[in-house]
Every structure is written in C-alpha cells, then in structure tokens.
A and B are shown apart, each in its own frame.
Chain A
Amino acid sequence: MKIQQISLFLENKPGHLNAICRTLANNEINIVTLSLADTQQFGIVRLIVEEWEKARDVLEKAGHVVNLREVVAATVANTPGGMAEILDTIGKAGVNIEYMYAFTYRHESKAVLIFRFDDPDKAIEALTAAGRDVLDAPTLFAK
C-alpha cells in the first residue's frame, strides 16, 4: 500500500529546480506531483512519479543527490472537515506525521494527501479501519 517517493537535495540557486524537471522531461517521465520544502540555504524536492526507478537512475546520473522513501497516499473528500477527520484518525492511532503535502486527484472532487509517517504500517491500518481510502501504486497511477 505504500508509494515510492523520490527526494532530491536542492541548493537555493537559480535554475537548480528547473534542471531537475528538465532531466525528467528529457527522459519522458511525468511528474504526478512535486513538493518543495526549503530553508534559506537549501531545500528538499519531493517527487511522485510512476517510473521511480528510471527517475532515480537518470537523476543520479545527472549528478543529483537522490533519496527514496516509502510514503502513504490517502484520498480525502474536497469538502469542509475532510482533512480534520483524517488527521483525527491518525492522531488517535498515535502515529506521528513527519511531513505531508496534498494535490488534486485527477478530475474527481478529491484530493490526495501524501504522508511520511514515523510508523507507516500502523497508520495504514488505522486509516483502513476508519474506512479511509489508502491508495496503492496501480490505483494512484491509473490513467
């Protein structure tokens, strides 16, 4: 039920993020979503792509520092309170969120939340038990 996320070290210099996107585009890799965490000095780019192995290889070859991380993707209804409910479930399960980001899911009125948990298995269990939609890779990347 887990998704592979690619993270890259990003120096806060003009053109660095563009170079990453350009490398992926040149290899015909589509970015499903991209999230950026940054400080004054450096940043971390987190990417969800279907062909993560190919993406990792081409990015490493281009000289980037790459890290793989299993994250959890869950859908949430695009309505008031949807997010709060999901966070409640996770909170009650006693799992910590290290970071999260969201993106809109295809054409449905749903958003996908990507989580890095300290204990992803326990989180998946709690979310599933609460009737939340946890996405596996085929579902997430289904066209």
Chain B
Amino acid sequence: MNTTPIIDNNIWQPEFECMAHSERKALQLEYLQGAVSRSLRNPFYKKAFADKGVSVDQIKSLDDLQRLPLTTKADLRDNYPLGFMGIPRNEVSRYQGTSGTTGKPTWVAYTKNDVENWSNLCARFLVSGGLKKEHTVQLSFGFGLFTGGFGLHFGIEKVGAAIIPISSGNSDRQLTCMHDLAPEILICTPSYALKLMDTIQGGDIARSDLRLEHAFFGGEPWTENMRTRIEEGLKIRCWNNYGLAEVQGPGVSGECAYRNGMHIQEDHFIFEVIDPDTLEPLPDGEQGEIVITPLRREGFPVIRYRTRDIGYIINDGVCSCGRTTRRMSRISGRTDDMMIIRGVNVFPSQIETALMRIDSVAPHYMIEISRPNAMDEITVHIEIKPDMFSDSMIEMHKTKREIGAAIHSITGLNMNIDLVSPNTLKRFEGKAKRVVDHRNLVD
C-alpha cells in the first residue's frame, strides 16, 4: 500500500467516507432494506423475490443480500423502456441513457434526491483526486444521454470550481480553449487525452503555454501503461474513477491522493465479486465479476446488478488517506462481448442488427478493434453473400456505405467496413467469438 500522497489529501464528506466500519454496516443494512422495498414496486422484482421465497422483513443482516436475485442487462432490456423505474413519472427529474444490446438505449431515471446524491458522489472522487474550488475544469465529455457529461458537471458544480462545458470532439477548439481559458484540469476519456497529446506535439500551441496540471479519466478501460504514457507525454497527473449508468453513472468509486485503487462509496453501493459461471461470491482480492447494489437510488432501484466488468476488491486495512472504505482494482476485462470504443458501449449484437437491415440473414462477421495512434479504430469484417454482391463497383460502394450507415445509426460510431470472401473468417466451436481486440488494455 502506498503511504506517500502524490497530491494534497482532501476529503469531501469525511463523515461518510471515513466512517467506522460498524457504523457503515448498520447504515448499509438500513439502506438495503429501503432499496429492496423500493425495488418491489417493479413487477420484475416482485416475481423474482417470490421465486426465491424472500421478503423484505427477512433481510436482517447484510449477508441476506446473497439471497436476493441478481439483475442482468437482459432483465433491463426485457422490461424496456421504464419497467425498472421505482417512482411515478412525475417524480423523475432527469433521464440518462446508456447503450443497450439491441440498438435501443437503456433508460435510467433520477429523482431530485438521486441527482443530489450523484453530485456529492462525483464531488467525492473529484476532491479526493485533487479538484479544488479555485480550479477551472475543461469538461470534454459529451453532454447528452451519456452519464459522464452531466454527472461530472454536477460534481464540479458541487465543489464550486469553474466549468468549461466544451463537450467532446474538435481537438483544435479544445486546445484553443485550453490555452485561452487556462484550465488546470481536464476531464475526458484516456484515448482522447492521447489524441490531444498528439495534437499538441504536432501543433502551434506549445505545452509550456498551457496551465494544465491534472486530469480525470473515465468512460472506457485504460491501463497503468497508458497512465504513465499520458503523464509523461502531457506532463500532467491522471486520476481514475469508475461508474456505470445502470447503478448511477460516474461517482461509484475513485482514486485518492495515495492511489491505492479506487475507494468504493460504500455508504451508497454494496459491492460483491462473483464467479461469473457459478455465480458464487468470491473473497476480497479475488478477481471476478463485479456486482453492485445501489442503496439510495429512488429513480432506478436495481438489486445486485451484474456489471459484466471484471475486477477485484482491495481490502488491506485503512488507506493512509483516512478513508475506511474498501477499494477496487482497475477493470481488466468483461465477461461478455461488450466493447468500449471511444467511450461508447458497443455490443456485437448491435452490429448483427445493423447487418440484418441490409440482409435478413446476417452474414458471418468479425469485429476487430485496434488503437493505431491514439484513437480506437474498429473494423467490421463481413463475409460477402451472393445477394450483397454486384458486378457494379458503384453498387458495391453503395452497399458498404449502407452497412456503415446502419451501424452508425445503431452504435453512433463510424466503423471501417471490410468485405471478405465467404468462409474466410475464423469459425469457433460453440459460442461465436466475434471480437478481436488488439488494444492491449491489460498491463
């Protein structure tokens, strides 16, 4: 465990973050009972609890959590659009969205209280990672349904720092802004930081003319190697945090001044790590699928949500920062085929849906992801079928464009389309392996 801080050690809500274990456990149990009651407004949980023979009054200790049903992305999809909402519509203050597996988003609702909690939880990791009231922050996450933009905005506002809501894209404008408004802090995806780094190295604005000191990265998986590369290349310090829309968005966990993993906001979330095959719980320190139960959410109360993210829990005593919460590792992979490309969640099934718009039976395909320079690039290799083929080059280009447009309309991403001969892509026994990722996201 690191015992030397890299930056000043500040804590946003010490009353919760540094709470004694016993006190937090009591609080978690009380909140868990509330979360379960709220979830029972949803017919899905009514049935799932009945199937398991559990009722709210049987939840007498935190161990009883194990008796509750798990929730998957597929359950959310089956109850589209708002089956998981825990409140009447007129109590919703905000909707956000995240990509679903079929082309339709997963909608999540927030009450006023949810937004207030979300703001404080984002403020917690921002402050623990070095944000101060006197700072100016360039917020280069997309503002829209993606929880990154607004979540961080709320957190920065809470801390009282100045926000430049520049949103994503347009590197030249980003750099001009970074130069002219002189923010100390940048928030973006790590791959976008790499792109900015290249733009600075080849452009008119010199690094020495920027005040930039610090960055918070999120929205996609990254590694310690990437951290070193960006910290050396941009001469900044970068902080990691974690979250997902299904349980809130950013603010679920984040690094402190000592960088001993990401502190889990355990007064708001109960973390479990399970074996994704047997669904049995795994002890702290063992790698598995992260399962999260948000305790305070009103708008979207999910129980034991299977994130599909792979990681482990660090529980080696109280961190030097003074926080008593357990910490989590970086995300090292996924238990499904979900890809995170330039901060956007993409599922192979979405590509399949797009291909079926061109031809009712989707051709065999394979997805290849690489990061040739700074940005993720994705190529869809498609085995051509007779009815997709034409003797006219104009028609062939049209077909390629149509496939690209269908994929874009479902995923929001531009992908390279590569047509290949039939039976040339590798076949796999059993479950088709559709994704080849060359990005090397694990150190």
Contact = CB atoms under 8 A, between A and B. Distances in A.
Contact of B419 (A5, A7, A9, A63): A9
Contacts of B423: 63
A44 B418 contact: no
Given A5-B391, A65-B386, A69-B391, A41 B419 contact: yes
A11 B421 contact: yes
Contact of A98 (B394, B420, B422, B424): B394
B391 A16 contact: no
A47 to B, nearest CB: 10
Contacts of B279: none
Contacts of B419: 9, 11, 41-42
Interface in A39-98: 39, 41-42, 44, 46, 63-67, 69, 98
Interface residues of B, number: 17
Contacts of A69: 391
Residue with the greatest number of chain A CB neighbours at <10 A, chosen from B385, B392, B394: B392
Main secondary structure of the interface of A (DSSP, over half): strand
A105 interface: no
B384 interface: yes
B401 to A, nearest CB: 13
A99 interface: yes
B56 interface: no
Contacts, number: 49
A37 B393 contact: yes
A139 to B, nearest CB: 23
B273 to A, nearest CB: 44
Nearest to B391: A7
Interface in A11-41: 11, 16, 37, 39, 41
Given A66-B386, A67-B386, A41 B418 contact: yes
B391 A65 contact: no
Contact of A99 (B393, B420, B422): B393
A116 B393 contact: no
B50 to A, nearest CB: 54
B95 interface: no
Contact of A65 (B392, B393, B394, B422): B422
A44 B393 contact: yes
A67 B421 contact: no
A34 to B, nearest CB: 13
Contact of A67 (B389, B394, B418, B422): B389
B390 interface: yes
Contacts of B26: none
A78 B389 CA distance: 34
Given A65-B384, A66-B386, A67-B386, A116 B420 contact: no
Interface in B414-443: 418-424
Residue with the greatest number of chain B CB neighbours at <10 A, chosen from A67, A69, A99: A67
A11 B420 contact: yes
A41 B391 CA distance: 15
Contacts of B394: 98
Given A9-B421, A42-B419, A63-B422, A99 B392 contact: yes
Contacts of A99: 392-393
B396 interface: yes
Nearest to A11: B421
A2 B393 CA distance: 21
A7 B421 CA distance: 14
Nearest to A39: B393
Nearest to B388: A65
Given A5-B391, A98-B392, A16 B421 contact: yes
Nearest to A98: B392
Contact of B391 (A42, A46, A63, A64): A46
Contacts of A16: 421
Nearest to A71: B391
Residue with the greatest number of chain B CB neighbours at <10 A, chosen from A5, A9, A69: A9
A75 B391 CA distance: 22
A69 B326 CA distance: 68
Contacts of B396: 42, 44
Contacts of B384: 9, 65
A41 to B, nearest CB: 6
Contacts of A46: 391
A16 B423 CA distance: 13
A41 B399 CA distance: 14
Contacts of A5: 391
A67 B424 contact: no
B391 A116 contact: yes
A44 B421 contact: no
The 9 closest A-B pairs by CB, nearest first: A7-B391, A11-B421, A69-B391, A65-B389, A9-B389, A37-B393, A9-B384, A67-B389, A67-B391
Given A65-B422, A69-B391, 9 more contacts: A5-B391, A41-B419, A42-B396, A42-B419, A63-B421, A65-B384, A65-B385, A98-B392, A98-B394
27 contacts: A7-B390, A7-B391, A9-B384, A9-B419, A11-B419, A11-B420, A11-B424, A37-B393, A39-B393, A41-B418, A42-B396, A42-B420, A44-B391, A44-B396, A63-B422, A64-B421, A65-B385, A65-B386, A65-B389, A65-B421, A66-B386, A66-B389, A67-B390, A67-B391, A98-B394, A99-B393, A116-B391
